Amino acid sequence: MTEKNWMAELAHHHNKIRRQHPEDRLMILRMFGVIISFIEQKLSKLIAFCFTFIYILTVAIEEPLLAQTEITPADKAQTSDSVQVQHKKYRSRSTVEAIVSFPGVLVYLPLKLTFKGFGAIVSYVDEKKVVQKTRDFLTSDDGRRGVLPTYSDRTGGGIKFFQKGLLTPKSKLSMSITAGLRSRRRYQLRLRRVQLWHVLSADLLARHKFLPDEPFFGIGPDTDFEDDRSNFAHKQTTAQVAVGANLDERFTAKVMVGFEVNRTLPGRNKRYVSTTDVATSETLPGLETGVNLARFQVEVRHDSRNRPVRPRSGGVELLRVGFFQESGGDQFGFWKATLDFSRQFHLFYNRTLIFRVAGEITEPFSDRDIPFYYLSELGRKETIRGFQRGRFRDLDMLFGSAEYRYPIWHIMDAFLFVDAGQVAHDIFNDFSISDLQVGYGFGIQIWGREGVISSLAVGKSKDGFRVYFGLNREL
């Protein structure tokens, strides 16, 4: 038999088996799903295992012995198939054992009460539909306007008002006010999707923010978390007009024109030295200097996700090129190009695997400078989770991420992630595996009708742990 005939015969038998025994394939898939679910449950309880480690060491040896009653064949014969026989447990713990294990019980008790309390809260919220009722209370009956709480790790907490259909049927107006420690604040007004003509729409943005303790560690991939850390205050006012075209259901193009007023001040976090005390405007362009920038940006975006909320397949490709020129001066001028590519793969039982790759290049015009806070950066929620925001800065940046997401509630997903990236003066020539920074962790996110309502993530890197929380957050 020739190789070609042998392969054809093998394919014929394989198709025959598939037609005769489809239930075998279904059983294998179900078994595989059970195994994956078991792994997910174990990974989701990682924190609980860490906290109970001490308890296990002190108490595991002193666990009570469990005895089981034997069931004779006569007993089995008298037992109905519908009756489940439960083994009886007998405790065998002496007074000495109880005294020895008492410290471990005390250590474990807060964790036990915490998890029981958390489980009771989740059950109550689900049963009483607290999330939905709260949202309905804060919004109008038709859902076109409302007030929502908002929180961001960077700008603090506050409120957000929204109004749909203000000028055109698809337009949406949102106004938010947030505040935090050390006079941290942000005021933002945004009007989106104002229909101009046929496929053209306009977006308007006005924003003022004051960030009193932005971290700065230096420039390059070799900065030290403890020795190089300083902080500065950044005040910025932005006005922007954007006109976009929906070329089809998935492809959009946008032109953005804006003006920004920037000013840096001494940092207000007294735990760390101020950046203004360790650097000057000559060594760090933009420090303690008012910088007014006019910017022009072009953006193209392709969205092939199967749906915007809890997508299971498809992806998003984004390319943005911007030109920044100082207004009223010739010291600052640069251009920036950003490429962001993500793809989602549906595995089974609503499990999703997400890959993301992003890169950014920042280059000055001729002999002009770039304000240091406009350099490409890594170390925030949108890049490497586990690092402080602005942990690494340089002209160029390369970033990659892998995330596994699985549902744990009808509006809640859990996810595991691994992030990696690097900054460099020239990413094409200076890329090095040894300079690659890595973060990993887990989190949960709650979905609403238009996207993620709230998210909580814990990231681990060489600098330690970081916790990220967001509520009705806008980037």
Q: What is the pLDDT along the chain (475 residues), one digit of tens a residue?
A: 444 454 455 455 545 544 545 555 555 555 556 556 555 555 555 444 444 443 333 333 333 333 333 444 444 444 343 334 444 444 444 565 566 556 666 666 666 666 666 667 666 666 766 666 666 667 777 878 899 899 988 889 999 999 998 889 889 999 999 999 889 999 999 999 999 888 899 999 999 999 999 999 999 999 999 999 999 999 999 999 999 998 888 999 999 999 999 999 999 999 999 999 999 999 999 998 899 999 999 999 999 999 988 999 999 999 999 999 999 888 999 999 999 999 999 998 889 999 999 999 999 998 899 999 999 999 877 899 999 999 999 999 999 999 999 998 888 899 999 999 999 999 999 998 888 999 999 999 988 888 888 899 999 999 999 999 988 876 4
Predicted local confidence at residue 75, as pLDDT: 44
Predicted local confidence at residue 167, as pLDDT: 87
- Alpha-carbon separation of residue 306 from 230, 300, 402 (angstroms): 44, 19, 19
What does the angle CA 383 – CA 283 – CA 234 come to, to the nearest 5 degrees? Answer: 50
Question: 401 is written with which tokens?
Answer: 């991420």
CATH 1.10.357.10 given to domain 192-471: no
- Alpha-carbon separation of residue 410 from 64, 121, 452 (angstroms): 39, 16, 13
Between helices 130-138 and 95-128, what is the axis angle to 10°?
40
* Residues contacting 148, CB < 8 A, separation 6+: 135, 138, 139, 159, 160, 162, 472
DSSP state of 166: S
**Torsion (CA) 263, 267, 273, 277 in degrees, nearest 10:** 30
CA distance 15 to 4: 17
**Domain positions in the chain:** 33-54+92-128, 192-471
Burial 343-364 (b: 16+ CB within 10 A, else e): bbeeeeeebbebebebbbbbee
In 230-370, which residue ranges form alpha helices assigned H by DSSP?
275-278
Question: 373 is written with which tokens?
Answer: 């806070």
**Torsion (CA) 269, 272, 276, 281 in degrees, nearest 10:** -110
Q: Say if CB 322 and CB 296 are below 8 A apart.
A: yes
